[in-house]
Amino acid sequence: MSTQPLRLCLVGAGISHSPSPVMHQAAMQSSGVEGTYVLRDLAPAEIDGFVDELRQGKYTGCNVTTPYKAVMAERCDRLEGDAESLGVVNTITVRGGRLVGVTTDADGFELALSRASMWPRQGATALVLGAGGAAAAVALALTRVPLLRLRIAARRQAAAESLAERLRGSGDIATVPWDRSAIANTCAHSAIVVNATPVGLDSLPFTPRALPPACSVVDLRYRPRPIDVVTEALETGHRASDGLEMLLQQGLLSFEIWTGRIAPSGAVRNALLQAVEA
């Protein structure tokens, strides 16, 4: 690995309150790695200029968040692993002016749920709400559960169908209409429901109160805490988790890609918690 200081950033839109800089600065400090991590809050028209900066070596690498995970994947010279399957990236490394894109979201989701003892068992049914980049990573991760039945619902049916098509061949995958009746029917048989949309209870076509007792609930949002979906799920006796642990795990995986080092998760988790709850 290079001994030059890391120059890292997060590219997205509306990211001024992102805790990613705190998380990655903690990872660098606790690992003895010198470097910086900044936010690049960009308009769509600024993306091509940012890609030029990457190729010219302004940054060692970057994370990518909403709404540019697919856009930046298209700008990469090579996609690896899950990024190649999904056509989205959350981590880019610059190698000799070439952009190599991966996504650590699927592995981060699996690690987060496994840590919380919420990873579904063989043959379970899972419902994912949403069809964006985060939903795609979650859906891909869930297809790794043997004999899992995966159902996808999104406000835009075409987006749900597109995601299901990308995962076709990975198991029993189908879409569900975005309405309370259809989703209630699916929830009645689900072992886990994942909200991978940016909206809360007031805008979602389900309520945790109506879920089977053994159904787990995950909401990928992590601000403002407590997350309403998670709160209601816990109040009604369900196992539930917000997206903070997934954020941590995918970030640690990105850090390992850039540095070849495994950052102490405890120190980074504490820094992240303080940033989110500040």
Query: Residues with Cβ < 8 Å from 126, sequence gap 6 or more?
Result: 120, 142, 145, 148, 149, 150, 151, 190, 191, 192, 193, 194
Q: Give the dihedral sign, CA 166/168/172/178.
A: positive
Neighbours of 3 (CB within 10 A): 6
Measured torsion, CA atoms of residues 163, 164, 166, 171, in degrees rounded to the nearest 10:
140
CA distance 15 to 57: 23
CA distance 187 to 3: 51
Among 24, 40, 69, 166, the one annotated catalytic: 69
Q: Which residues pair with 102 in a beta bridge?
A: 91
Burial 99-129 (b: 16+ CB within 10 A, else e): bbbbbbbbbbbbbbbeeeebbbeeebbbbbb
- Asked if residues 242 and 265 have their Cβ atoms less than 8 Å apart, the reply is no
CA distance 42 to 56: 18
Which residue is associated with the tokens 């995918």? 250
Question: Annotated catalytic, 69?
Answer: yes
Q: Give the dihedral sign, CA 55/59/64/65.
A: negative
- Asked if residues 239 and 216 have their Cβ atoms less than 8 Å apart, the reply is yes
**Which residues are part of the catalytic machinery?**
69
